[in-house]
Amino acid sequence: MKKYKAMYIIRPDLDEDKIKAVIEEMNKIFTDNESEVVEVNQWGLKDMAYEINDFKKGYYVVLLLNATPKAVEEYDRIANIREDIIRHIIVKD
């Protein structure tokens, strides 16, 4: 396993319960694929540098991970499909 840092931005129009559900589901991707979520930093609602999908704000979440290549691939696949995530990235730490 290698260390990674991942970030994703959740749509700002979701309520608090739905945001928590998205975070839990994204963390579950890693735990289901033999990886470890070391730390979850919820930055909260922030202004974005530029508008994405007519949103000027987004709910930022940053993860520190020990992940397998399979988990990274699955994270990228799921984040691309989900409509409640407007941007995501994962990089080796």
Q: Residue 33: its pLDDT value, please?
A: 92
Q: Calculate ∠ Cα 10-81-17, nearest 5°.
A: 35
pTM score over 0.85? yes
Q: Looking at residue 93, what is its pLDDT?
A: 83
pLDDT tens profile 11-59 = 999 999 999 999 999 999 999 999 999 999 999 999 999 999 899 999 9
Residues found in the chain: 93
pLDDT at 1: 87
Per DSSP, 76 falls in state H
State which amino acid sits at residue 72: V
Res 10: pLDDT:
96
The span from the CA of 23 to the CA of 75, in Å, is: 12
The stretch 75-92 carries a mean pLDDT of 95
CB of 28 closer than 8 Å to CB of 63: no
